[in-house]
Every structure is written in structure tokens, then in C-alpha cells.
């Protein structure tokens, strides 16, 4: 079927595809209204202000319809995300094949303690421990575009150990505590089952420093380029754990690898400091908004040493990539990559630096789409709002893919209605 020629027609086709995955045709109109409200300009993207912008003459009725669709209607988020992916992926692949899968989590600041999953935990948006909700996601990307294809709320143990609190927030009975790494692995397995085009898995040290997580990626036959902490221990090139000695005497023969006081691994930080100045190379990986992005890097093949004294065989070598910007007192970032041994330094840098796409996606989801504006407290409403934000953003991604980077896309078909002069959002301190 040929692609519609105008943004209005493409938006209608996109919405029609989503309606088929939400269960009932009568959910089509509130779905259309909600997506439109998220794409319209406006300072606040909670339900009532969006209803007022979309239908200022019937705010109350429109608000009730949209609120029911998000907070109460039992449609399946996974099915809708699959439909979003099926629509958007061909647009992205027109710009190039999928290269990476990016794992990340994003904190949404919240006040109070009743919103589902809210807890005092690290919030990347604020850069500190704060009261917030955290969503774990996986995105697929190439250098030109990216799309979130799986997303789920992280539920802290303080919630899962309190059944009554979970019941009040509408948390399903089968939801149990899972670490963020476990949630991400479940999402990855789901994408593999659905035959999503594979890519190199990227994540930061919060995930990559988990050795079991990395081993699970390898078991799934996925390559990775993951951040690690500077304390991670490795065997430098040409070294490794001691092989068990052959035994000809009585007793069971030794089978485990060994280390001792004079033969032990090194932290990646110590290894970086020991390298000669000639080991570092200036690499430019892409053009930034004002200037080219570049830094000093080195890459060496190492063996990870984590608990290898419990193994009887050597681990495979993998790349240790280190960044040490000019003028810094010490290296700033470390990665492990399971790319082939002949991979160039420039290609290693290109891969790990593609994580910037998810950072930009979350910035736009929050600042432009309204990801953090949902005011409900329940599990279903949180995930429905999250899914609709991904849907609205996915449409923008698809539209951008229709135009070369040097061109601006055609004006999108969203116009903000003028609010009634006496309109005041519920709870506003300004008197009506």
C-alpha cells in the first residue's frame, strides 16, 4: 500500500493501526485525542489540560473519556508497543539497518508516596537520590533514528513487600520484585522471541558492571558494549589465571584456575594508568551541535577476572575500551565489548557512543511529549500513559525519517486550540 502523501493522512493511518490493538473501536476517539494532546504544544500534558486544548467547548466530557481510556481501560500495552514498532521500524530501516539495542532507565520525579513505584532512589533527571518513579526500557537504533520498543516500571522491594499498598495502586498479583537488570533481560528475551532485528546491546555501568547480566547477554548470542566501573578486575594482554597443575599423587586432581599474591588481575583503572602515552589516540565520533565530538581513547584485549578461580576454563578475550579526555587527571569512562578482535578503535568508539540516542529520546519525551506529566497513581494508568508517549514520539520519529538530515520535515498537523478565558486546571492555586 502506498504511503499517504500528507502528514495528516499519515497520522490518521498511524492512529488507525493503533486502534486495532486496543481492543474496542470505541477506544479509537480517546486514543486519537490523547496522542494529539501529547503532540500539541503546551506546558502541561496531564489529561485535563490536554482535553481543554483539544475540545475547549466540552472539557469535562473530553476529560472523562481520555481519563477512562488511560486509567481504567484494560488494553494491552505490549500489543500496542508491538503495533507502534511495526509501523515505525520500516521508516527507521529506510535510513539504515538497526545497529544497537540500548538499555536504560529514566527517573520521573514525584511528590508524595502513593503513586505506584514511587520511592527514594536515584533519579537521572535530577542527578541525585530523590523521590521518583523509574521506568526500564530497551530502544533499537541506528545512527539516524531510534525507537523505544519495550518499557516497564521498576517496582522497589518496599512496594512488593507491601501487598496492601500494591493492591491500592492496582499492581497485578503476578508482579514480583525484579531488579532492573532482570527486567531488561525479560524485555530482551521478548524482543528476540518477536524477531526484532538484532543489534549490539549498549548500557551504562549500572547494568554493565553486573557480571551475570553480561554472561546472560552472551548466552542469548548477543554482542554487547557496556559501561563498567573502574574497579572491575581484568587480566592484561598476555596474562591470565594460573592453570591447575597436573596431579599424579593421591586425591582428586585440581581443576580450578588459580591466582596468588604474585599473580593476580588488575583493576581497569590501574591498567589504564600503566599504559604508555603512545597508547592513546584522538578519535572523533560525530558532529555535535556546535563542534565535533572527540576525545582520547585506547582499546586492548583482556580477560575479565571476576571469580574466575571458580572456573576450570579461561574466559574469552574481549575489548576493554577506555576514554581519557585531554586535560583530565584520570580516565573518565570504561567499557567492555564483545566485538571481533579485528574491530578498529574508531568502530569501537562509534558503537559505545551511540548511547546518546536514548539520552536525546528521553529528553524529548519529557520536555516535548510530557512523559513525566501523568498525575494518576495506578499501575495501569502509568503504563498506558508511558505507551501513549512512546506512540506520539514514534510518529515524530517516522516523520523525521522521511526527510534527509539537512532538510526539515513538513509542518505536522497539530494546532493548539485556544483555551476558554475562565479555564483553570483542577488544583490550580489561581481562582477561577
200-258 tens-digit pLDDT? 999 999 999 999 999 999 999 999 999 999 999 998 988 878 777 665 555 556 677 77
Q: Is the pLDDT of residue 414 over 60?
A: no
In a domain, 272, yes or no: yes
In a domain, 119, yes or no: no
Alpha-carbon torsion 95, 203, 306, 215, what sign? negative
Per-range mean pLDDT, top range of 28-32, 125-129, 311-315: 28-32
DSSP codes joined into one string, 148-181: EEEEEEE--HHHHT-HHHHHHTT--TT-----HH
Q: Is the pLDDT of residue 310 over 50?
A: yes
143-152, pLDDT tens digit by residue?
999 999 999 9
In a domain, 75, yes or no: yes
Give the range of the structural domain holding residue 269, as residue numbers without chain letter. 210-240+257-353
Return mean pLDDT, the chain. Answer: 89
In a domain, 142, yes or no: no
Grid cell 503532540 in the structure block, residue: 39
In a domain, 106, yes or no: no
Q: Please count the other Cβ atoms lying within 10 Å of the Cβ belonging to residue 344.
A: 11
In a domain, 45, yes or no: yes
Helix, strand, coil tally for the chain in percent (to 5)? 40, 20, 40
290-309, pLDDT tens digit by residue?
788 999 999 999 999 887 76
Q: What number is the average pLDDT over the span 384-392?
A: 98
Q: What is the pTM of this model?
A: 0.89
Question: For residue 417, what pLDDT is reported?
Answer: 56
Name the domain count of the chain.
Answer: 2
Residues 340 and 392 both lie in one domain: no
With beta carbons less than 8 A apart as the criterion, state whether 299 and 321 touch.
Answer: yes
Cβ neighbourhood burial of 183 (10 Å; 0-12, 13-18, 19+)? buried
Residue at a domain's end among 318, 353, 388: 353
Residues 263 and 386 both lie in one domain: no
Amino acid at each position: 500500500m502506498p504511503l499517504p502523501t500528507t502528514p495528516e493522512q499519515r497520522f490518521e493511518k498511524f492512529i488507525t493501526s493503533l486502534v486495532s490493538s486496543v481492543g474496542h473501536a470505541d477506544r479509537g476517539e480517546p486514543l486519537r485525542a490523547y496522542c494529539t494532546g501529547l503532540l500539541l504544544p503546551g506546558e502541561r500534558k496531564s489529561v485535563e489540560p490536554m482535553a481543554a486544548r483539544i475540545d475547549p467547548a466540552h472539557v469535562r466530557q473530553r476529560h472523562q473519556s481520555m481519563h477512562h481510556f488511560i486509567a481504567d481501560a484494560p488494553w494491552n500495552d505490549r500489543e500496542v508497543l508491538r503495533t507502534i514498532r511495526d509501523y515505525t521500524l520500516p521508516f527507521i530501516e529506510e535510513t539504515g539497518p538497526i545497529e544497537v539495542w540500548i538499555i536504560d532507565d529514566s527517573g520521573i520525579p514525584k511528590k508524595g508516596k502513593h503513586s505506584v513505584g514511587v520511592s527514594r532512589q536515584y533519579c537521572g533527571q535530577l542527578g541525585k537520590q530523590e523521590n521518583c518513579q523509574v521506568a526500564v526500557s530497551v530502544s533499537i537504533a541506528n545512527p539516524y533514528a531510534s525507537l523505544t520498543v519495550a518499557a516497564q516500571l521498576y517496582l522497589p522491594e518496599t512496594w512488593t513487600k507491601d501487598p496492601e499498598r500494591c493492591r491500592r495502586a492496582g499492581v497485578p498479583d503476578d508482579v514480583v520484585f525484579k531488579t532492573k537488570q532482570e527486567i531488561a533481560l525479560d524485555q530482551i528475551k521478548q524482543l528476540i522471541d518477536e524477531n526484532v532485528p538484532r543489534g549490539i546491546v549498549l548500557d551504562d555501568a549500572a547494568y554493565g558492571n553486573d557480571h551475570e547480566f553480561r554472561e546472560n547477554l552472551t548466552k542469548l548470542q548477543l554482542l554487547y558494549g557496556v559501561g563498567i566501573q573502574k574497579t572491575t578486575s581484568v587480566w592484561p594482554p598476555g596474562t591470565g589465571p594460573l592453570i591447575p597443575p597436573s596431579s599424579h599423587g593421591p586425591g582428586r586432581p585440581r581443576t580450578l584456575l588459580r591466582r596468588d599474591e604474585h599473580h593476580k588481575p588488575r583493576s581497569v583503572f590501574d591498567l589504564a594508568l600503566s599504559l604508555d602515552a603512545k597508547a592513546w589516540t584522538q578519535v572523533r565520533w560525530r558532529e555535535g551541535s556546535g563542534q565535533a565530538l572527540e576525545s582520547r581513547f585506547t582499546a586492548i584485549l583482556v580477560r575479565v577476572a571476576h571469580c574466575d578461580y571458580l572456573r576450570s576454563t579461561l574466559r574469552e578475550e574481549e575489548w576493554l575500551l577506555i576514554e581519557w579526555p585531554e586535560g583530565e587527571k584520570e580516565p573518565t569512562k570504561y567499557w567492555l565489548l564483545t566485538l571481533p578482535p579485528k574491530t578498529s578503535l574508531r568502530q569501537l568508539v562509534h558503537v559505545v557512543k551511540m548511547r546518546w540516542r536514548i539520552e536525546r529520546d528521553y529528553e524529548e519525551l519529557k520536555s516535548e511529549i510530557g512523559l513525566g506529566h501523568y498525575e494518576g497513581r495506578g499501575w495501569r494508568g502509568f503504563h498506558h500513559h508511558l505507551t501513549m508517549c512512546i506512540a506520539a514520539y514514534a510518529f515524530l520519529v517516522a516523520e523525521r525519517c522521511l526527510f534527509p538530515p539537512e532538510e526539515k520535515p513538513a509542518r505536522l498537523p497539530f494546532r493548539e486550540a485556544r483555551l476558554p478565558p475562565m479555564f483553570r486546571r483542577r488544583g490550580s492555586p489561581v481562582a477561577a
